[in-house]
């Protein structure tokens, strides 16, 4: 899973409650998590040790073909 904070619809409003910001701070290039890492973060979030991932992807219109 690629998490790109620049493409998050709730960026700014939800950053302080997102696991990405809490663990990594600003991520200009995003972050890549495999299934095992996502599962581990889920366990930590479910136990209240870190906030959950708050990513809400936006539709990236720049990558759509025109015509």
Domain that holds residue 32: 2-60
> Does position 25 have pLDDT exceeding 60, yes or no?
yes
25: in domain: yes
Token pair listed for 7: 């493409």
pLDDT value at residue 8: 86
Q: Which residue has the higher pLDDT, 35 or 27?
A: 35
13: in domain: yes
Q: Which residues, in sequence order, are CB contacts of 2 under 8 Å at separation 6+?
A: 30, 31, 32
Name the residue with tokens 């479910």: 46
The percent of residues above 70 in pLDDT, for the chain, comes to 88
46: in domain: yes
Mean confidence (pLDDT) of the chain = 82
Number of domains forming the structure of the chain: 1
28: in domain: yes
pLDDT value at residue 41: 92
23: in domain: yes
> Does position 61 have pLDDT exceeding 60, yes or no?
no
65: in domain: no
CA pair distance 39, 27, nearest whole angstrom? 20
20: in domain: yes
């Amino acid at each position: 899973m690629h998490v790109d904070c620049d493409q998050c619809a709730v960026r700014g409003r939800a950053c302080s409650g997102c696991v990405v910001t809490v663990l990594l701070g600003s991520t200009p290039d995003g972050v890549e998590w495999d299934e095992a890492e996502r599962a581990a973060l889920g366990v930590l979030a479910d136990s209240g040790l870190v906030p959950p991932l708050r990513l809400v992807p936006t539709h990236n219109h720049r990558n759509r073909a025109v015509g």
